[in-house]
Amino acid sequence: MKIKIALSLFSLLLAGFAAWGADGWKLVWSDEFNRDGPPDPSNWDYERGFVRNRELQWYQPENAYCSNGLLILEARREHKSNPDYDAASTGSPRRWKTSRQWINYTSASLTTRHLHEFKYGKVELRARINTQSGSWPSFWMHCADRPGVGWPARGEIDIMEYYAGQIRANMAYGMKEKPNGQPRPSPLPVWAATPGPMPSTFGRWNGMPPTLICWWMVNS
C-alpha cells in the first residue's frame, strides 16, 4: 500500500526582482503565481532526484503546484524505487545518490537557472514556511555558471533558510582545501533567529546582491 503524507514546506505569494535606477527601484521581473496548475515554465525549472547534502528527499516536479494565488511546495512520505539505483555503489559514501535502492520522501526544488539571471538589484520573496522538525525550506542564490569555477568559489547567498530550529541567512564564498584536496566553503553567518508560529503567517524576505548585502525579514 502506498502512503502519502503531504507537508507544505512553502506557500509562496510573490517572488520578484527589482533594479535601482535614477527614479528608484523598478520592478524587472516577478511571478505572483496567479494561474492554477504547474509553475510557469518560462520562469521556473526543477531540480530532480537526490541532489545534495545526502538529504533524504527525492526532488520531483509533481510536488510543486499553483493554487489560489499560491505556489505550494510539498514534502511527501511515499515509498518507491530509485530509478538511479546501482547495486555496485552500495556502501560508497561518494555515490550515495545511486546507492539508495528506495525513495522514502519526495519534495520539490525550483530554480530560475538559465531562465532569469541578474547582477545588481533586490530580490524579494513573500512566503509562509513550515517549521516542523526535519524540514529545511530555503530561498537562495548562486552565481551564474562560470566555466571551470565550481561551488563554493562562485559564491552562494542564502537569503532565508529554516534549519535546526532557526531561521538563518548565510553567505558561502572562497575556496579552502580539505586534507583530501576537496574544496570547502568559507561560510559567513549573517543572522539567525528562533521563529514563532511561522506556519500561520507570511514573511517577506529581501536580499541585495552582490556588493552590498542586506537582509530584511518582516511578518506580514
197 vs 131, more confident: 131
- pLDDT reported for residue 153: 73
Q: Which of 62, 117, 161, 177 is catalytic?
A: 161
Q: Inform me whether the pLDDT recorded for 31 exceeds 60.
A: yes
Q: Is 156 a catalytic residue?
A: yes
- pLDDT reported for residue 27: 84
Peptide bond connecting 199 to the previous residue in cis, omega within 30 degrees of 0: no
Span 22-44, average pLDDT: 87
Q: Which of 32, 74, 156, 177 is catalytic?
A: 156
- pLDDT reported for residue 82: 97
160 vs 218, more confident: 160
CA trace torsion 145, 150, 151, 154 (10° rounding): -60
Mean pLDDT of the chain: 76
- pLDDT reported for residue 181: 41
Place of cell 519526495: 106
Span 72-95, average pLDDT: 92
Q: Are 213 and 190 in contact (CB under 8 A)?
A: yes
Q: Are 29 and 17 in contact (CB under 8 A)?
A: yes
Q: Which of 1-5, 124-128, 135-139, 172-176 has the lowest mean pLDDT?
A: 1-5
Q: What confidence tens digit (pLDDT) does each residue in 149-166 have? A: 777 777 788 888 888 778
**DSSP state, 89?**
G
The whole model's pTM is what?
0.79
